[in-house]
Structure 1
Amino acid sequence: MVRADALGIIASKASDGAFSDLAKLIKKSNGKANIQQKQEQNVELILLTNGLPMFAVNTETQCYREFIQSDIPCKQLSFNTISAKPNFDQTTWLYQTMNSGFGRSQVILSPALNHRTATEYGFFDYSLALAANLYTPLWQGSAVDLRYMVPIDNSDDFDQGGLWHQQAFENKLDRALLHQAFKLPQNIITQFSGGYMMGGYWGGINETQWYSPQGDHMLGFEASKFISKDEYDARERKIADKQSVLANYTYSLPEYNWQLGLQAGEYFQGDVGARVTSSHWLGDTKLSINYLTSKAKGSSEYEDFVAVSIAIPLTPWRDMKPNYAQVRGIDQFVYSLQTRVGESHNNLNSGLGASSDLQHNIVRQYENRGRLSPAYFKANTQRLRNAYIKYVKVTVE
């Protein structure tokens, strides 16, 4: 859970003395001391992601201390996303210490796997690489995103001249993007991304998402256009542009750790269709099953597929201390298997249902993989306590 230990640290360190000192600062600043000792000591914690205020937690320190010490439910604990930005923007600082994120790069290391499983050509064919992603914040909501692929190993069918050689990973820079995100009123966030992608295309993407006040409902939109840097491929075939125009909706039931996703529109290969996804969370691991129906460009018939996938974080619970360079693992590594349904054959999917699926998209970069909502935190308050206890344990050890 994103910085769930922070609230416990604040509550454990805040005391009558701290609030008394704060009252003196306020009185010195404006001649009025509006903090009363021995009464409620309210705090608001605002989560910033890449400088954007995304989430606010309000509580009373004594109430929250009792919660983390004795597991007594704290009734004075509330969460919201709508007021995070206006409250942060309207804050009057008596004392401010901030570490600028400018230039503080993250080096994100992860495996990359392209595979063909249980086909008529073999039980398991694969191309394995190390993905080294450099993510560098610039200013509020902006970042440079570079990824270099280093091939590690592959099966024979991914060798030169092999059946899947065209899909084998190459030793090269396959992504160079500039992202700019904006937090808008009424729980709307939008991100523009442009540059070099997929190892050979130039273009741009816009993602826009709206979340209901409690986070149960999410509506989103994606529009992209990418043009190949080469006009023809190795077989002298003209390379088509890639574009997408997609709408999506997600319904979340965090008390059951379940989400239902609906997506429809034009996908990257020019096919038109829809996808339904049911996801279940086990901690930070997500298990999903989805059904895709899509009609290829120039075709009159829809093709149907069912896929199952698992998405797991490949990074320690507590990353290394942020500095000008922070090395960490990826927030989620996805392994999936897909098969055709409703057909007498099971020919491989030729790219239907593909979208931009950026690593640093809104859902993953700013919304904690779609779980940064009041409804999720209300249903998982015990994880707040557990995160602080785990933080204390790791710190002491």
Structure 2
Amino acid sequence: MKRNAFLAPWLLCPLAAAAQSNMNMQGMSGLFNVPDASVLEYGTAVLAHDRQVDGRFARPRTRNAAGNDMTISAGAFPHVEVVGRNVTTTTTTEGSDLSFNIKLQLPWELIEGVDFAIGEMDLGGSVNEYDTQFGVVTAQLGDFRTTIGFGKADGKAATGTGRLDGVFYGVEYLATDWLSLIVEDDVHTLNTGLRLMTPPGLLPEGWKLAGSYMLSQEEGVKDRQDWYGLALTVPLSADYDREIPKSRDRQPPAVAYTGKVVEERLDSNDAVDLTAPPQSEYIRAEYRAKMRSAENLDKVESLRRRFRHADFEQVRVQRNGNEWVIAFENYRYNANAIDALGIAAGIAAEALPEGSRFYLQMEKYGVPIFGMGGDSSAWGRFLNDDAGMPESVLIAAPSNRIRRRSNQGMLDAVLGGTLDYLAFRPTLAIKPVVSSTLGTEFGVLDYSVAARADLMIPLWKGAALNMTRDWSVYETEDFTEEGVFGGVFRNQAVPSGFRDRIISQTIRHGKGFTTMISAGRFFRVNDGVMVESRWEPGDGRHRFRAIATDFDFKHNPGLKREARLWSYRYFAESTNSELNLTAGSFSAGDNGYRFDFTQHIGDTRIHLTYKDSEGNKFAGIGFTIPLTPRQDMARIGGLQVVGAARWRYDISTILGEQGNRLVFGPNVVPTAGFNLRNGYFNVDRLSPAYVRANQERLRDAWLKYGAPQQRASE
């Protein structure tokens, strides 16, 4: 292999990286083909495309060819970069190769101005075209960056080109903030060229578009020597989300007022109970008169009015001494219910006098799902200034703190609550549904797309009717009868018609226990019952869940589909990460287990998955994004129409020496459109640990939505 020794003197100089990480043509951050020791910034993603391909997509294999090399990359964790890559020829209707790359950067700077990283391309798959392991060092000074590394290429593409199989190196010079010049030796060939970037201020903050032009010393097929690529970098969330919680700059907590609490109660119906009255009859009478005063009654109505103005529903207010208990339901902040908590806390802090305390009881269809309380003044300083979050009461799946009125019987309370929920106030969610294959022998991307409408109608406390219908929109040929082998993916297409018709009843047991029992038609073809129970003790770091189904297949009533699953989730508050282990018998009757690692970056989540099903092993990467704004539209005539609060897309590959078989639906957890995790507990994000980890979100929601609305109404 020809070497290019004239680069060696450059490597003796202390050079520097002045530019942000950019994707190269091998699906890693770096130069053109050479990876460097940088990684994508945490909380950002890159969509990239270039025309250089090699391996089985080039003829002969010893040279490059023009094709389509597409990558989706993410800074999934600080100092960690993950990439999904798909390579094909000049057409996207033939076969392609799907692979995954990963790079890990040493988080400590052992030598000033020098970074170290290791990585692997084409990680784990059964047909490894580009499998390469490497270690790399990047030194930086001023406007220069120099990189040297060593790779071991075992993939089939390396048998022809030998790219990155040995010592590789390169230099990048940032001539301006929008132009860099690059020269590299990737072991296969010497490459030179330039990279153009959008100047600061041209795109929204955090966005960047980069174009690369590379001239290779080694000719490609048909005498082609030049290659180009494009990469778009996008932030996945707000600035404060693109830093893990333990690294965020947080001020000391706000100081709480501690005064004497007199145990009394005043609710919005002007009923007073002295549960711990003073000894003196005169003092008792004085306190009773004070609690009955117009000022306190006005405060109750003022709180109710403020919460209703903020579009909270089912608002009830009671006073216990100097603590105000406020129960409410959130229907407008569906992308993340923590926004509703921030707004509700801001209203209470602004409306209550110095020294008061509040307790917020967030509910869903009458079931308490989260409790949060503290000193109103301390919370006011936290939400409006830079003070840290005060020590507060935070409870997952709490007991009901709203008491019955002293003159109201239990039957009256139950009937009154039922009538409230019989009011017709449905929510209609519209979202896309995609069934797809990526990187198969039949094409780069095949898909079936449908529109889904989810109608939720509350019935009584804890009960709801969920009806889901799909409308097929478009299918590629392989999802139809006209495709290869009569439609190789036809059975995976999304058909038009009703999917779910389910009635559910949710039962709150207390102490973090909740159960949902659902019955009806599930997943188009199953009739029966599903039971889901969860326990979230303490601060919510741990969550245990069990799911059981008893389904009859509608086309063959004797065919049973009985899933039996248990699940454990751990949430790491310091990093906003969660690990979920699920095991048992899954939807299709396959036995096994799955690990899901999820990194929360604002309302975006990145998923890394490992599955073991009946001896088959799979690895995958996916993402979840909201397809609805942080604040959904209000009801019109009682009906609310929203987008998808969370939309997930995954790609996976089979592992091991098992060929490149197509396997659909391994380790699928039976999940109705409305369930405890999604419908009630904000996708496991209503826990004290999550709220503390994302406390900046409380302030941001109040300042962006709550404060302007409240002050405009005054």
Alignment CA distance shift 1:13-1:168 (3 Å):
same
| 1:299 paired residue number | none
- Cα distance, 1:106 vs structure 2: 0.4
Asked whether 1:321 is paired with 2:646, we answer no
Distance across 2 between alignment mates of 1:352 and 1:384: 38
Aligned with 2:589 (options 235, 248, 270) = 270
Task: Provide Cα deviations, 1:306-327, integer angstroms capped at 9, x if missing partner.
Answer: 1111011111111112452100
Distance across 2 between alignment mates of 1:321 and 1:250: 34
Structure 1 residues 249-288: aligned runs within 5 Å? 249-288=568-607
Percent identity between the aligned chains?
27
Structure 1 residues 76-225: aligned runs within 5 Å? 76-81=391-396, 84-89=398-403, 100-102=420-422, 103-160=424-481, 161-225=486-550
| 1:338 paired residue number | 652
Alignment CA distance shift 1:303-1:64 (3 Å):
same
- Cα distance, 1:351 vs structure 2: 2.7
Matched residue SS, 2:388:
coil
Q: Which runs of 5+ in 2 are unaligned?
A: 1-335
- Cα distance, 1:191 vs structure 2: 0.5
Distance across 2 between alignment mates of 1:288 and 1:376: 17
- Cα distance, 1:87 vs structure 2: 1.7
Aligned-partner residue type, residue 575 of structure 2 = Y
Alignment CA distance shift 1:255-1:100 (3 Å):
farther
Distance across 1 between alignment mates of 2:698 and 2:585: 40
Task: Provide Cα deviations, 1:165-188, integer angstroms capped at 9, x if missing partner.
Answer: 222222211111111111112210
TM-score (norm 1): 0.85
Distance across 2 between alignment mates of 1:348 and 1:251: 32
Aligned with 1:57 (options 345, 353, 372) = 372
- Cα distance, 1:240 vs structure 2: 4.4
Task: Please say if residues 371 and 396 of structure 2, whose CA atoms lie closer than 8 Å, have aligned partners that are also in contact.
Answer: yes
Task: Please say if residues 346 and 707 of structure 2, whose CA atoms lie closer than 8 Å, have aligned partners that are also in contact.
Answer: no
Asked whether 1:348 is paired with 2:649, we answer no
Matched residue SS, 1:88:
coil
Aligned with 1:46 (options 361, 377, 381) = 361
| 2:158 paired residue number | none
Larger CA deviation: 108-117 vs 195-204: 195-204
Highest relative contact order (Cα 8 Å, sep 6+), 1 or 2? 1
Distance across 1 between alignment mates of 2:522 and 2:400: 35
- Cα distance, 1:392 vs structure 2: 4.0
Alignment CA distance shift 1:111-1:293 (3 Å):
same
Alignment CA distance shift 1:328-1:8 (3 Å):
same
Distance across 2 between alignment mates of 1:186 and 1:374: 14
Task: Please say if residues 53 and 88 of structure 1, whose CA atoms lie closer than 8 Å, have aligned partners that are also in contact.
Answer: no
Larger CA deviation: 73-82 vs 372-381: 73-82
Asked whether 1:305 is paired with 2:624, we answer no
Matched residue SS, 2:556:
coil
Distance across 1 between alignment mates of 2:594 and 2:394: 31
Structure 1 residues 239-250: aligned runs within 5 Å? 240-250=559-569
Larger CA deviation: 198-207 vs 163-172: 163-172
Distance across 2 between alignment mates of 1:212 and 1:201: 33
How many residues align structurally?
360
TM-score (norm 2): 0.48
- Cα distance, 1:254 vs structure 2: 2.4
Aligned-partner residue type, residue 14 of structure 1 = L
| 1:385 paired residue number | 699
Larger CA deviation: 4-13 vs 46-55: 4-13
- Cα distance, 1:384 vs structure 2: 1.0
Aligned-partner residue type, residue 270 of structure 1 = G
Task: Please say if residues 52 and 183 of structure 1, whose CA atoms lie closer than 8 Å, have aligned partners that are also in contact.
Answer: yes
Larger CA deviation: 55-64 vs 99-108: 99-108
- Cα distance, 1:92 vs structure 2: 6.6
Task: Please say if residues 52 and 85 of structure 1, whose CA atoms lie closer than 8 Å, have aligned partners that are also in contact.
Answer: no
Distance across 2 between alignment mates of 1:278 and 1:171: 33
Task: Please say if residues 202 and 228 of structure 1, whose CA atoms lie closer than 8 Å, have aligned partners that are also in contact.
Answer: yes
Alignment CA distance shift 1:79-1:287 (3 Å):
same
Q: Which is greater in Rg?
A: 2
